Amino acid sequence: MVHVANHSGGSWIISKQLLTRDMVSADHFEKEIKCSMSELSIILQSCGDCIFRVKFKKKVDEKEIMEKLKGIKVKDLKAPAKLKQLSKEILEGEERVITCRHDLIEDNMGRSVVIDLDAPKKSNVRKIDHRTINFIIFKNVKYTLGTKAKADKDLDLPIPFPKDAVAKWDESKLKVGNWFSQI
């Protein structure tokens, strides 16, 4: 038996067998598939109410830029490697990994509004720019930005989980803090 916390603040006691057989995970995956940016956007939009994990770059804000600019020394501007690194840090946002569920999709190749499940309820709404996604773990498959392997070229994404599977993930990998969804 396993004690699980639910999203309403309560908890349940369920069997490990039920957890491994019927629930999908945002933490566990057995397969990794390379996808294009467009495919990652489509997968993100198909998540619905299911819990998923996503790595993306957050939007750069003015405060972060000002903090980085305050720390610059003249000698840093003369070194090409330092200047290139500084430019990248200012133009690109910080990488963020969150476990979440959908709230709203603004449009294709746009942004999705999600609920960050690890953040306090009063400040848990986040926006994900589809163009900055690095990976999504959805229904026990990790979809990563990259070039598809030949074997994966004709796959319909996201991959449906086989209905006759006995377990959706390996119960020996269960850890405190893992996120699961039944949908």
Q: What is the CATH number of the domain that holds 102?
A: 2.30.30.100
Domain that holds residue 150: 26-58+95-160
What's the confidence (pLDDT) of residue 68?
77
In this prediction, residues 50-69 reach a mean pLDDT of 86
Q: Per the domain annotation, does 41 fall within a domain?
A: yes
Quick: pLDDT tens for 86-107.
887 778 888 999 999 988 766 6
107-113 average pLDDT score: 74
Region 15-21 average pLDDT = 84
* pLDDT of 126 strictly over 60: yes
pLDDT of residue 142: 94
Look at the chain and count its residues. Answer: 183
69: left (phi over 0), alpha (psi -120 to 50) or beta: alpha
Structural contact between residues 53 and 26, judged by C-beta atoms closer than 8 angstroms: yes
Q: How many domains does the chain have?
A: 2
Model confidence, pTM:
0.80
Same-domain check for residues 122 and 101:
yes
- 156 domain-assigned: yes
Q: Is 145 part of a structural domain of the chain?
A: yes
Give the three-class secondary structure for 17.
helix
Identify whether residues 149 and 110 lie together within a single domain. Answer: yes
pLDDT at 151 over 80: no
How big is the chain by its Cα radius of gyration, in Å?
19
Is residue 155 predicted with pLDDT exceeding 80? no
pLDDT at residue 108, as a whole number: 55
Residue 89 confidence (pLDDT) = 76
Inter-residue contact 19 to 168 (CB < 8 Å): no
DSSP 26-77: SS--SEEEEE-HHHHHHHHHTTTTS-EEEEEEPPP-HHHHHHHHHT--HHHH
